[in-house]
Copies of this chain bind each other. A is one copy, B any other.
């Protein structure tokens, strides 16, 4: 299935697309050199927004979901990338323990897990699932929509090693973002490979730090291509010391929103962009599209009503929100069957392995789409991010555009790699 796309390409992005296509070998070489210095996350996904005049990553997920939305024809790419990743980390690996989210009854999430199991089995590993949920005290079969089932087993911790009954893995793959904190059962596992590392979880990770790293990456990349980094970088500031329930710090937040809107307005003027700027306020840690607000005018912040405050106050796993980021809003001009859509690019190791559209019929182009009611459309193979056609005019063909999305997503992934290096508690410090 090939989704019907409506993309309002105009002005700078056409130039950007042209430059990216012309510079393909240089870009791929640049990434190759970056990966000599930095370690890519084991797997990731990046939400991309294409405003027509600007193209940015808005979220980099290090515990990606949604692999069930990948086009099945694309799976060999994931298998091959998984083979390359395992070979580098632990070539003698035999067993892989996959630790999913606690609440695994959602049938889409189960299909996602099934896809991961399939990929890693085909890459040459015995894969079994262990649950952080203490209610799981014996192997539990979870029914899959296709009639099959997945078995989730209780974790068995023995001194320095984590496994299952009669299953001693060399590698543990987390698909749980640790929003609820780091469970003690995962601490001190020095004999096994724990991927991603604990500090990639939302207990430690901060979006503000990610976008700081992204700014650095965007500047480097923009220099390579000789362009304004703003075209691929959303202005982002972190705000601390908030208490939405008590109304604490909201004045400072309002000021930051105002600054972001003012700077964006200036940039819009510079490029002759006729749209109205807006800002997004979202928790500095956490995911699941919770606690996200679109602000078109700083004054709106004064009128935050009770419902809005409650929505912002607490997110996934009941975590209170004291830190947020204020980010320049980037509209998405992608449409699938007339509904607002944003591309999600999936990566394994340094490789783009596929993508899909997040589509929301009830949301506007300047709103968060990761919300109840969202649906997902796999990208057809013809739109693989791997194969641009340098001969064709920019914007003329889907493959061209998806190559560009794959480049932007990899910039987000590279930023995550910088970020994880900076926050690694075990990093050696060279004075």
A interface with B by C-beta (< 8 Å): 24-29, 31-33, 35-36, 73-77, 79-81, 83-84, 86-87, 91-94, 121-126, 148, 350-351, 381-382, 384, 386-388, 390-391
CB contacts (< 8 Å) of A25 on chain B: these are 94, 121, 124-126
Verify A75–B33 contact, CB threshold 8 A: no
Verify B124–A388 contact, CB threshold 8 A: no
- Quick one: which of B26, B81, B93, B390 contacts A80, CB cutoff 8 A? B81
- A-B contacts, 29 of them at CB < 8 A, read A24-B122, A24-B124, A25-B94, A25-B121, A25-B124, A27-B124, A28-B83, A28-B123, A29-B93, A29-B124, A32-B83, A32-B86, A32-B87, A32-B92, A32-B93, A33-B91, A35-B87, A36-B91, A73-B382, A74-B76, A75-B386, A76-B77, A76-B384, A76-B387, A79-B387, A80-B80, A80-B351, A121-B390, A122-B386
Once bound together, how far apart are the Cα atoms of A350 and B79, in whole Å? 13
CB distance from A367 to the nearest CB of B (A): 33
Chain B residue with the shortest CB-CB distance to A90: B32
CB distance from A363 to the nearest CB of B (A): 31
Once bound together, how far apart are the Cα atoms of A77 and B386, in whole Å? 9
Chain B residue with the shortest CB-CB distance to A124: B28
Chain A binding surface SS class: helix
Report if A124-B80 is in contact (Cβ < 8 Å); known contacts: A73-B73, A381-B73, A387-B75. Answer: no
Verify B388–A122 contact, CB threshold 8 A: yes
CB contacts (< 8 Å) of A391 on chain B: these are 148
Report if A351-B122 is in contact (Cβ < 8 Å); known contacts: A76-B384, A77-B77, A91-B33. Answer: no
CB distance from A40 to the nearest CB of B (A): 12
Verify B24–A121 contact, CB threshold 8 A: yes
Verify A32–B91 contact, CB threshold 8 A: yes
CB distance from A141 to the nearest CB of B (A): 16
Chain B residue with the shortest CB-CB distance to A74: B76
CB distance from A317 to the nearest CB of B (A): 34
CB contacts (< 8 Å) of A76 on chain B: these are 74, 77, 384, 386-387
